[in-house]
Amino acid sequence: GDSVTQMEGPVTLSEEAFLTINCTYTATGYPSLFWYVQYPGEGLQLLLKATKADDKGSNKGFEATYRKETTSFHLEKGSAQVSDSAVYFCALRTDSWGKLQFGAGTQVVVTP
Amino acid sequence: NAGVTQTPKFQVLKTGQSMTLQCAQDMNHNSMYWYRQDPGMGLRLIYYSASEGTTDKGEVPNGYNVSRLNKREFSLRLESAAPSQTSVYFCASIPGAGGNRGAHDEQFFGPGTRLTVL
């Protein structure tokens, strides 16, 4: 079945450092790929998405490129901020009923 | 426009008790979902409703029932709570009702219900 694998956290880095979170997937169809972010005590919010191979999603300084050849959708940000401290979830969707398959989540801690 | 709302925010139950988690959205969305979030496991789909009047099982439906009361509301019921159901529960919705559009729609999440079963 479909699955998503994310790097384990927590990832701790200093403010203004480069942030990257690896995500790889296994899917039988042609999935849409998503990154969701969860701030402490809140629900999940969509950060960015890509719907086909080679698409790049971007939002709030974050980017991720849909790489079909490596089945990856790594999240990157050039200069992390303290406010980026959160849990990040990679997810995929292959069916038309909107169901998402999530990775385990990666906690990111950015220190001043 | 409140988005997706969930009640209660917190709940403590004893083993064997029953309760219903409520979810409502005011965005006129067609599809709604219930997930549970457990440490190290991400979110797992319990049930979903692709449109008013329909419900289907997700990945982990055992021990739960759902009701799509109307287009706005989608409730999750635990008939006899077990400690294994201690989790954070999230409700979500998307505009689409299936078909190609549903594959790309953003899911909007509620703030969650933290449930502890003793």
Check residue B40 and give its pLDDT. 82
CA distance B77 to B19: 6
Mean pLDDT in residue range A3-21: 94
B104–A97 CB contact, under 8 Å: no
Question: Is pLDDT above 70 for A109?
Answer: yes
Q: What is the largest CA-CA distance in chain B?
A: 43
Which tokens sit at B58? 């997700």
Report CA-CA distances (Å) from B27 to A72, B7, B31, B117: 32, 17, 11, 32
Check residue B16 and give its pLDDT. 97
B40–A104 CB contact, under 8 Å: yes
Closest alpha carbon within chain B to A46: B106
The interface residues of chain B toward chain A in range 97-116, judged by CB-CB distance below 8 A, are: 98-107, 109-112
Report CA-CA distances (Å) from B109 to A33, A34, A36, B96: 17, 14, 10, 15
Question: Is pLDDT above 80 for B75?
Answer: yes
| Low-confidence winner among A20-34, A94-108, B41-55, B59-73 (lowest mean pLDDT) | A94-108
pLDDT in tens, B3-18: 999 999 999 999 999 9
Closest alpha carbon within chain B to A35: B106
A95–B112 CB contact, under 8 Å: no
Check residue B104 and give its pLDDT. 61
Closest alpha carbon within chain A to B43: A102
CA distance A20 to B9: 32
Name the burial class of residue A49, with classes exposed (0-12), middle (13-18) and buried (19+) by CB atoms within 10 angstroms of its CB: buried
Question: Is pLDDT above 70 for B100?
Answer: no
Q: CB contact, 8 Å: B95 with chain A?
A: no
Report CA-CA distances (Å) from A88 to A5, B15, B28, B64, B82: 12, 32, 28, 27, 29
Where does the pLDDT of residue A28 fall: very low under 50, low under 70, confident under 90, or very high at 90 and above?
confident
Question: Is pLDDT above 70 for B102?
Answer: no
Check residue B99 and give its pLDDT. 52
**Interacting residues of B25 by C-beta distance below 8 A, sequence separation 6+:** B3, B4, B5, B32, B72, B91, B93, B108
In angstroms, how far is CA B22 from the centroid of its own chain? Answer: 8
